[in-house]
Structure 1
Amino acid sequence: MTKKTLYQMQHEVDDYIAQFKVGYFSPLAQLARMTEEVGELAREVNHYYGEKQKKANEAPNTVAEELGDVFFALLLMANSLEIDLTEVFDQNMAKFNQRDHYRFERKDGTRAPEDENALN
């Protein structure tokens, strides 16, 4: 099975939305929906990994399902704002790789250049 690219996913969501007269909701409405989905994700994470047990009458949703809902809402919002998430991802990874290169202890043992000077 061939994995879809983020670009393909954004276009698939756009094709899905294009079949409805209403189209994309306003950015504020989309943010509200995404916030709602993140809340549902938090609830599932709390049930699976936290101390709060599910009630017997609650639906057996999974963390994966809720992550999928958050991801779909994110794709919707990006599309409506004409944001290419592949481009944004590449920019963010470049930023993190530069800014946070030595933020955490590295498995290879390398340290930030200023850490080397502190040892001398």
Structure 2
Amino acid sequence: MKGMGMEFKGLDGRAADPILVTIVANIIFDVRPMPEALVCPLAAEATIKKIPLAHFPRDLFQVGRSVMILRGLTHTLGMHVRAAHLWRGYAEAALADPGLDACAEQNRCYDDGGCVALA
């Protein structure tokens, strides 16, 4: 998650609990059925409220929204799909790319509004 530019903090301001980060990663990027993913993110008991996001790249926001829509569809249709299994090869290839750090830095620059996008 950190390698994608996502930063979590615990409610006490310290490092976030890695177990909660894993749960949130599955909520954001996988469509498999899990109780935590079916809780409204605005509910008091929502996992996402236990580890605030300090930074979330704008380009990943649409991915997360798409996954949540797919989760709703697969849940309604009674399907058990593991998107993480489907995306694993793509993610491993991206992480093996030596230019990944430069791309991540460029994305952070765009997210922070400090870079000018080329038309």
Q: Same fold (TM over 0.5)?
A: no
More strand by share: 2
More helix by share: 1
| TM-score, normalised via structure 2 length | 0.30
**Larger Rg computed on CA atoms:** 1
